[in-house]
Amino acid sequence: MSASETGLAERPSRLFDTYVRMPVALVRGEGPWLFDDQGRRYLDALSGIAVCSLGHAHPRLAAAIADQASTLVHTANIVRIPQQEALAEALCEISDLDRAFIANSGAEAIECALKLARRHAHARGIEAPAVLVASDSFHGRTLAALSASGNSAIQAGFGPLVDGFVRVPFGDLAAARQAFADNPNIVAALVEPIQGEGGVRPAPVGYLPGLRAACDQHQALLMLDEIQTGMARTGRWFAFQHEPGLVPDVITVAKALGNGVPIGACLARESVAGLLSVGSHGTTFGGNPLACRVGLEVIKIMREQDIPAQAERLGLALLAALKTRLDGTPGVVDIRGRGLMVGIELAEPVPELKDRAMAAGLIINVTRGNVIRLLPPLIIDDEQVNQIADTVAQLVQARFSA
């Protein structure tokens, strides 16, 4: 659909030009479906970038929002907030961690984790600490989060960056061990279990347990960014739970936690959480009754419907459907993923593909220029899995058949 059809082209916006936006306005959603202002229907295979995992306009979430909005939205963290305490309890149950700090976004959860690492360092008498981070990582857009990210595009023009990061190739355990050996100031490692923006790249088998062992050896914290992989996306509550016995010190959560209502959380083991004492960290909005009520309802629905198992089953179905249709297709380099976090790596950049998908009634994303990223709502059904695979396969075949 052209921009002139929607009238959007004639209406320039006063927003900062920080995004390339498709000339479509989505005005309504229902489950895995989205509708534009012309009444056209799209199947959502992106979930607002891993956010709306329970689909759009979920009746129970809408009811929880309406009820809480007409009861109490905000008090500030000067009093006890029962919804916040209940959400912390639920998050600790599903993660096996001990404490939660509730924030408003992923980047804020990362800031909290990085502040924990700094406190951990200073408690050990290390004055110039460093955090081990990975190439091609993404941790958000605040200054510390973009400094931690392995992405020069999001850092360009924002120097001086925040100090204290040591970068190693993602997935390379020997390089991580060497960095620890070379630099006694490394007090933590921060990695994504599956790199999202970095191209849907799962950590190789043995990488996370190996990092855990290296962190233990050097009294460093293992901090996992589960902002994209968490909340059932990969077939477990958190992606680290695919590794039997692995216990991180800190994880960051956001995206799907509020199904679209802004919220983030930093979860930590008891002794680590204790590093942030009274007055050392805070947020005005974070943990308000509205956002926490929604987070609680998200976890409740996911538990009742065993959404982690659903994501695992449908993810296997989606991977199989894509492989059946695309294996051996020219231009297809790799098809990979875990649960409903799936990437199709192509031989060339495909900037036009998400627009072609939109025209075909499917919402997808392309990351790193050449990786189709599929993050459908976890409530899709088998027919919709096949519909996603059919459309994606047709688009890829059309692109590389010339």
Ligand X SMILES: *Cc1c(COP(=O)(O)O)cnc(C)c1O
Residue nearest to ligand X (CB): 106
Contacts of 102 (CB under 8 A, 6+ apart): 84, 87, 88, 263, 264, 265, 283, 286, 287, 291, 292, 295
CB-nearer residue toward ligand X: 91 or 254: 254
d(CA 250, CA 139): 14
CA angle 314, 317, 323 (to 5 degrees): 140
Structure tokens given for 396: 């890829």
CB-nearer residue toward ligand X: 196 or 331: 196
Active site residues: 138, 225, 255
d(CA 86, CA 369): 41
Residue 238's nearest CA partner among 276, 218, 265, 214 is 265
Q: Is 266 left (phi over 0), alpha (psi -120 to 50) or beta?
A: beta
- Residue showing tokens 């958000």: 140
CB-nearer residue toward ligand X: 33 or 138: 138
C-beta separation of 59 from 29 below 8 A: no
CB-nearer residue toward ligand X: 153 or 278: 153
Q: Cβ 264 to ligand X, closest distance in Å? A: 6
Helix 307-326 vs helix 382-400: crossing angle, to nearest 10: 30
Q: What order of strands is seen across the sheet that includes strand 362-363?
A: 26-30, 33-36, 41-44, 362-363
Residue 226's nearest CA partner among 176, 268, 184 is 268
Structure tokens given for 318: 């989606």
- Residue showing tokens 């994880």: 251
Q: What order of strands is seen across the sheet that includes strand 250-253?
A: 99-103, 264-268, 250-253, 221-225, 186-191, 130-134, 165-168
Structure tokens given for 274: 């204790």
CB-nearer residue toward ligand X: 178 or 284: 284
Q: Cβ 256 to ligand X, closest distance in Å? A: 11
d(CA 228, CA 53): 11
CB-nearer residue toward ligand X: 290 or 395: 290
Q: Cβ 134 to ligand X, closest distance in Å? A: 11
Q: Cβ 325 to ligand X, closest distance in Å? A: 27
Q: Cβ 53 to ligand X, closest distance in Å? A: 13
CB-nearer residue toward ligand X: 193 or 315: 193
Q: Cβ 198 to ligand X, closest distance in Å? A: 9
Contacts with ligand X, residue ranges (CB under 6 A)? 105-107, 110, 138-140, 192, 196, 225, 227-228, 254-255
The radius of gyration of the chain from alpha carbons, rounded to an integer in Å, stands at: 21
Q: Cβ 4 to ligand X, closest distance in Å? A: 32
